[in-house]
Amino acid sequence: MIAIKTHTKEDIFDLNGSVSSSIFEIQKNEGLSFKEDIKYEFHVQKTSLDIIITGKVSTIVTYECVRCLNYFEDEIIVNNLVFSYQLNEEGDLIDLTPDICEEFLLRLSIMPICNEQCKGLCPVCGKNLNKRLCKCSEKKAPSPFDLLDNFNID
């Protein structure tokens, strides 16, 4: 949990650290895993009515390429975060975790590709075409729609 105390003597302070990537509750079998903890650097400024938090968070994730199924790493940096929370008499802590999780999840790739030149897998034999070509790629893979080529509308 990333939390900030609202009742402190300082009106302006910095908050740096890291938190376990388990806050995202993402399973490794979903094609994504976190290689390291989430690092954060925040600047906190309190006013009479609210608390304003600016900063950045970053980590390194491991994706599974949707084309070739190889794993690759990518650094995700969320800069220029700005959060504003109203101060109240009841709470002593403001939990930033849900807002940070939302910002991170919005920046994750839904179709991760290891590189733009990735050729993927052969649709016939399943070999990784980035490593070597196969004989299957020379042949046209059968399709259930091949029957439509001979379909006569007249």
Alpha carbon 24 to its chain's center? 10
Q: Which region holds residue 31: left if phi is over 0, alpha if psi is between -120 and 50, else beta?
A: left
Q: Which of 41, 143, 27 is nearest to 96 (CA)?
A: 41
| pLDDT value for 70 | 93
| pLDDT value for 68 | 93
* Global confidence as pTM: 0.71
| pLDDT value for 5 | 76
| pLDDT value for 29 | 58
In a structure prediction context, what are the per-residue pLDDT tens digits for the chain, which is 154 residues long?
A: 777 777 777 788 888 888 888 777 765 557 788 888 889 999 999 888 888 999 999 999 999 999 999 999 999 999 989 998 888 766 678 888 888 888 888 888 889 999 999 999 988 888 999 998 887 756 666 778 877 888 787 7
* Domain residue ranges of the chain, discontinuous segments joined by +: 3-118, 121-154
Burial class of residue 124 in the structure, from the number of CB atoms within 10 Å of its CB (0-12 exposed, 13-18 middle, 19+ buried)? middle
- φ, ψ at 69 (rounded to 5°): 70, 10
CA atoms within 13 A on the CB side of 92: 2
